[in-house]
Amino acid sequence: MRRRAVALLLAIGLAGCGRSPAEQLSTALEGVLSWIATARTVADDWLAGRAPRRYTRATLQAALESLEQERASLTSAPRPVADDQIEKALPLIERIEIAVARTWDAVGKVDPAAVREQRQALDGLESQLRALGARGTTP
């Protein structure tokens, strides 16, 4: 009985160690959505005078690095299952990276109008990503 319980625990633990490409895509898109929300929130906070400039830029830099990582993980993912969706997601993520980089630049130049413009661009890109089936965490 005890051996069975231990074996069951080990099986539960080890069974999920591998992830399917569809799961990888879903996890990566979830991460991308979270970083879009982060970039949007920190931009809003900066515009409202709630976030210091250095912190805002550090957060946008972190968003940029993480988005690059998500894109790299999708590029190297095995393709057979979610091939079509990955091909559609990759250029979208690249455009999101560009929007975040431009926001970073605009905050550096203290240009609120440009920050607002990129924030709107992020909203549009998020909608396109959600149309691909991406969704955030739901408790």
Partner 1 sequence: MLKVVLGIVTSIGGFVEVGSISTSAQAGASFRFRLVWALALATLCLMFLIEMSGRLAAVSKHTLADAVRERFGFNFHVVPLAGEAVLDGLVLTAEMGGVAIALHLLTGIPARWLVVPVALAVWLLLWFGTFGMIENGMGLLGLVTLCFVVAAMKLGLPWREAAGGLVPSVPPDHHASYGFMAVSILGATISPYMLNFYSSGAVEEKWKESDLMTNRITAGIGMGFGSLVSFGVLAAAALTLQPAGIQVDRYEQAALMLPPVFGRWGVPLFAAALAVGCFGAALEIALNLAFAMAQAFGWNWDKNQRPAEDARFSLVYTLAVLVAVVPILAGVDPLRLTLLSMAVTVIVLPIVVLPFLVLMNDEHYVGTHRNGWLGNAVVAFIVVMGFVLALVAVPLEIMGS
Q: Which listed residue (1, 3, 12, 127) binds partner 1 by CB under 8 A?
A: 12
- Minimum distance, C-beta of residue 108 to partner 1, in the bound complex (Å): 10
Q: Quick one: 62 or 121, whose CB is closer to partner 1?
A: 62
Q: Which listed residue (33, 64, 89, 106) binds partner 1 by CB under 8 A?
A: 33
Using CB under 8 A, count the residues that bind partner 1. Answer: 33
128 binds partner 1 (CB under 8 A): no
- Minimum distance, C-beta of residue 88 to partner 1, in the bound complex (Å): 21
58 binds partner 1 (CB under 8 A): yes
- Distance from the Cα of residue 88 to its chain's centroid: 15
Distance (Å, whole) CA 125 – CA 119: 10
Taking a C-beta distance cutoff of 8 angstroms, is the pair 69, 46 a contact? no
Q: Which listed residue (37, 81, 98, 121) binds partner 1 by CB under 8 A?
A: 37
Long-range Cβ pairs for the range 50-53 (8 Å, 24+): 53/107, 53/108, 53/110
38 binds partner 1 (CB under 8 A): yes
Distance (Å, whole) CA 60 – CA 28: 18
